[in-house]
A and B are shown apart, each in its own frame.
Chain A
Amino acid sequence: MFTVIFYVFAVITLGASAIVVFSRNIVHSAFALLFAFFGVAGLYVLLMADFLAITQLMIYVGGILVLLIFGVMLTQRQIDVDIRTGTFQVFPALVIVSALAGTLVGMFWVTNWKIAQTAPPETTASKIGELLLTNYVLPFEIASVILLVALIGAAMIARREKKA
């Protein structure tokens, strides 16, 4: 059962990201990214990270993807519907990427990873909350400040008016 579900989500993730990467139509890419994020959320569930899976759905699908689609819609010329996007440096990129993928897969294949006997707890949300307010309280606060700065900065940059 685990095996079947793993392969279903793996195929969804990899197939959707292949569409994201290789489709010429940027709107197709944006919507395929939705399925890629869903597949990754499914993989998180398989890895017993229920809180992370919900976070993935809410922030990536609900936030980041919507922002990206806004970006697509706001930066395409509406009149001559120029929605196709070109590619360049395809051949060198293919060489670099296949070398990179080969290296990574070989490394993951050869290395004898440590396998722990203990599994993480079944329900993670309360444990993550505790850790965020004890061991990880400083990164947590810094992350909140970064979000505030990023929001103010984004509003300032996007609203800046051109001086005549």
Chain B
Amino acid sequence: MMEQVLQWLKTPGLNHFLILSAILFSMGIYAVLTRKNAIMVLMGIELVLNAANINFIAFSRYSTGTLDGQIVAIFVIILAAAEVAIALAIVLNIYQTFNTVNVDEINQLRD
């Protein structure tokens, strides 16, 4: 059993990348769930998106042998850039209005 695990650890393959991305994804979700600061929530979302991208590219490398997964990853990066620009504009506006960016203190849609 122990030797099997060691043998598995010695030869990185598809599963290793998938499990790495699962851990990264879980940490991103943890940041989204627990952080009060809206910008920390955004950082968690970035970690989640990176984990998804690792999966896409790992499958593109090991399972399909084509570049389709990499193309999807490019679109994910494009959407992440658009998302963070809009989200930061909203966060800055919230900061001007409420003078805080803690998501647990912002509970009104108007000032």
Contacts and interface: CB of A to CB of B under 8 A. Distances in A.
Contacts of A14: 20, 23-24, 27
A3 B27 CA distance: 24
A71 B89 CA distance: 9
User: Chain A at the B interface: mostly helix, strand, loop or mixed?
Assistant: helix
Nearest to A132: B71
Interface residues of A, number: 84
B43 A119 contact: no
Nearest to B15: A108
Interface in A77-130: 85-90, 92-94, 96-98, 100-101, 104-105, 108-109, 113-121, 124, 127-128
B106 interface: no
A7 B103 CA distance: 36
Contacts of B22: 101, 104-105, 108
Contacts of A90: 34
Interface string A1-36: 011001100100110011011000010011001001
A60 B77 contact: yes
User: Chain B at the A interface: mostly helix, strand, loop or mixed?
Assistant: helix
Given A47-B58, A64-B84, A93-B33, A17 B75 contact: no
Interface in B83-103: 83-86, 88-93, 95-96, 101-102
Contacts of A36: 47, 50
Given A52-B74, A88-B36, A104-B25, A113 B19 contact: no
B63 interface: yes
24 contacts: A20-B47, A47-B58, A47-B60, A48-B61, A55-B74, A60-B50, A71-B39, A75-B39, A85-B35, A87-B34, A92-B33, A98-B26, A100-B29, A101-B25, A108-B18, A109-B19, A113-B62, A116-B62, A119-B61, A131-B68, A131-B71, A146-B79, A147-B81, A150-B82
